């Protein structure tokens, strides 16, 4: 069973990488703690943070992960990261749009029709241009996914934090600032829009801004830690698992919540859980006894979230569509059948209980 499940999940991993769903390195699944702010970082947010410039780009985390507007978010000094489980991507939030509202009447926000000089590029999507050091910084540090399209041209603006005047340019997700007093590598910096937004809107719940003691708190308010199906006697702990270089991590003593592609309870997306089967007491040994209508419970931070089984099917290992994102909150359980042969995959799906 273990060998065949691993082979299946390798196929899944390769498919996931092909369709651009959030692939993940195992190391990024290890929570990281920042004593500087007393907050943690893990899973897809850590992966995105590290791949797109880390501390100089986003700053330190200043909240834990919480649900805002129906999706998991985490605030950093310079940005807000959002997990879009319905498409399998982490994106930086549109804090630049929010920050630009107060300056929208400035001439720099008037749309243009073309680039003004060689080396400057024009974005018809937003009607603005990008050039010089700001273009170099944009292209080297994540581009569209990290910063979005430009919303303005370059212009002079007084900084709210230190009162100094800097050359700035607004983007959908951030604000670039030119600091000539800094060493060359840091002269282009991002504004502290994460802090500004939280201070102005109080969008984060108090518990999410409270400092934690260690990295174990990462995603604590959202990640499932236990699954049970009372009628069939299924009761298992859940661990977070990813994959590295196309090889999925498959725990032998717990159900696996595959964070690179999975949704989370109370948010839209596919909550993918897999477990072994085949001998007494192992994780999903009772899952083949499930029927439509069974109650399923996921526990998150001590709170039970109830679901009802809506569909049971058997697929072949190449039918990896079962792990793809869903538009609605869905729980997908995966194990191998028939016991002793393990040639197919049992898929049990559930929806939030009415």
Look up the pTM and report it.
Answer: 0.85
Model confidence pLDDT, tens digit, residues 184-212: 888 998 999 999 999 999 999 999 999 99
Q: What is the pLDDT of residue 2?
A: 38
Segment 326-338 mean pLDDT: 95
Q: Are 300 and 222 in contact (CB under 8 A)?
A: yes
Confidence of residue 280 (pLDDT cuts 50, 70, 90): low
One domain for residues 6 and 149 = no
Q: What is the pLDDT of residue 115?
A: 92
Q: How far apart are CA 82 and CA 100, in angstroms?
A: 20
One domain for residues 205 and 230 = no
Domain-embedded: residue 61: yes
CATH number of the domain residue 244 falls in: 2.40.260.10
One domain for residues 250 and 168 = no
Q: What is the pLDDT of residue 22?
A: 45
Decide the pairing of beta strands 270-274 and 330-337.
parallel
One domain for residues 230 and 104 = no
Segment 63-86 mean pLDDT: 96
User: Could you tell me if residue 314 is left (phi over 0), alpha (psi between -120 and 50 degrees) or otherwise beta?
Assistant: beta
In Å, how far are 5, 18, 239, 256, 344 from 325, measured between CA atoms?
21, 14, 20, 17, 21
Of the residues 160, 176, 209, the one at which a domain ends? 209
Q: Are 350 and 330 in contact (CB under 8 A)?
A: yes
One domain for residues 244 and 167 = no
One domain for residues 48 and 195 = yes
Domain-embedded: residue 171: yes
Of the residues 209, 232, 252, the one at which a domain ends? 209
Segment 154-170 mean pLDDT: 89
One domain for residues 329 and 200 = no
Q: What is the pLDDT of residue 279?
A: 67
One domain for residues 50 and 138 = yes
Identify the domain containing residue 277 by its residue range. 2-23+219-352
Q: Please count the residues of the chain.
A: 354
Q: Considering only CA atoms, which of 307, 281, 271 is closest in space to residue 292? A: 307
One domain for residues 232 and 159 = no
Domain-embedded: residue 214: no
One domain for residues 19 and 36 = no
Residues 6+ apart with CB under 8 A from 7: 317
Q: How far apart are CA 261 and CA 82, in angstroms?
A: 14
Q: What is the pLDDT of residue 20?
A: 36
Domain-embedded: residue 188: yes
Domain-embedded: residue 290: yes
Q: Residue 16: is its pLDDT beyond 50?
A: no
One domain for residues 181 and 230 = no
Say which range, 22-31, 220-229, 258-267, has the weakest mean pLDDT. Answer: 22-31
Domain-embedded: residue 280: yes
Domain count within the chain: 2
User: Mean pLDDT in the chain?
Assistant: 88
Domain-embedded: residue 346: yes
One domain for residues 257 and 202 = no
Of the residues 175, 190, 209, the one at which a domain ends? 209
């Amino acid at each position: 069973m273990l060998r065949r499940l691993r082979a299946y999940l390798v196929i899944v991993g390769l498919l996931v990488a092909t369709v651009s769903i959030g692939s993940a390195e195992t190391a990024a699944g290890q929570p990281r703690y920042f004593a500087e702010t007393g907050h943690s970082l893990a899973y897809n947010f850590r992966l995105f943070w590290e791949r797109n410039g880390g501390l100089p780009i986003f700053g330190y985390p200043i909240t834990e992960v919480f649900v805002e507007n129906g999706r998991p978010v985490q605030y950093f000094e310079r940005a807000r990261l959002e997990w879009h489980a319905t498409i399998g991507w982490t994106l930086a939030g549109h804090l630049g749009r929010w920050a630009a509202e107060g300056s929208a009447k400035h001439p720099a926000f008037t749309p243009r029709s073309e680039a003004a000089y060689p080396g400057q590029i024009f974005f018809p999507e937003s009607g603005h241009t990008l050039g010089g050091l700001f273009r170099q910084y944009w292209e080297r540090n994540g581009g569209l996914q990290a910063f979005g399209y430009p919303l303005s041209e370059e212009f002079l603006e007084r900084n709210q934090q230190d009162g100094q005047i800097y050359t700035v340019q607004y983007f959908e997700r951030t604000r670039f600032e030119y600091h000539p007093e800094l060493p060359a590598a840091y002269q282009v910096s991002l504004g502290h829009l994460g802090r500004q937004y939280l201070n102005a809107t109080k969008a984060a719940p108090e518990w999410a801004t409270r400092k934690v003691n260690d990295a174990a708190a990462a995603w604590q308010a959202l990640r499932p830690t236990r699954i049970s199906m009372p009628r069939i006697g299924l009761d298992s702990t859940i661990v977070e698992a990813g994959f590295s270089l196309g090889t999925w991590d498959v725990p032998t003593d717990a159900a696996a919540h595959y964070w690179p592609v999975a949704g989370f309870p109370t948010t839209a997306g596919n909550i993918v859980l897999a477990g072994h089967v085949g001998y007494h007491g192992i994780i999903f040994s009772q899952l083949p006894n499930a029927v439509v209508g069974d109650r399923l419970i996921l526990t998150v931070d001590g709170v039970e979230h109830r679901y009802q089984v809506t569909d049971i099917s058997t697929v072949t290992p190449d039918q990896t569509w079962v792990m793809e994102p869903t538009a609605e909150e869905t729980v997908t359980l995966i194990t191998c059948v028939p016991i002793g042969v393990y040639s197919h995959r049992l898929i049990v799906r559930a929806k939030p209980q009415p």
